Amino acid sequence: MFKLAKYYVLVTIYKRAKFSVLMVLASVVAMVVISLLFADLVAMNTGSDKALMVSAKWILLFTLLGLTVFHLRKIVKSVSFAFGEDDSEVVDEKKERVLEKIKLRSRSDLIMDKYRKVE
């Protein structure tokens, strides 16, 4: 039962915030790649270039961390209604237009009216 509930929560999170989940995963992967890449670049450089590389690395990592936190907040906000009712109401314009009609007519009624007008 617990596994089923966990699966339901994960699917709900993914459905409601698909873009944010993908951005969080991409940010984490980018952080790992930047850490490894800049570790090699810092090891190859000497002097003032080393300080420049280290500062660029940390600026990029903090930017990606901020992006990750922002999207995690969006995920938490969008999933807050996971088990409750969603306040947003989807309006189907076709359905509303049909329900507003006083007299509903079938397709055969429309065809018959068309041929009656011709005569």
pLDDT tens sequence for the chain (119 residues): 777 877 777 777 778 788 888 899 999 999 999 999 988 888 888 888 888 888 999 999 999 999 999 999 988 887 765 555 555 566 788 888 877 877 778 889 888 888 888 75
pLDDT at position 32: 94
Report residue 26 as tokens. 């991409």
Closest CA to 61 of 90, 85, 28, 21: 28
CA 115, distance to chain mean position in Å, is 51
Q: Is residue 99 part of a domain?
A: no
Distance CA 76, CA 70 (A): 10
Q: What is the pLDDT of residue 89?
A: 65
Report CA-CA distances (Å) from 116 to 69, 96, 109.
67, 29, 10
- pTM for the predicted model, two decimal places: 0.57
Cα-trace Rg, the chain = 28
Domain presence at residue 66: yes
State the total domains in the chain: 1
Range of the domain at 6: 2-83
> Looking at the domain assignment, is residue 54 inside a domain?
yes
Amino acid letter for position 91:
V
Q: 3-state DSSP call for residue 1?
A: coil
Determine the Cα–Cα distance for residues 84 and 3; give it in Å rounded to an integer. 20
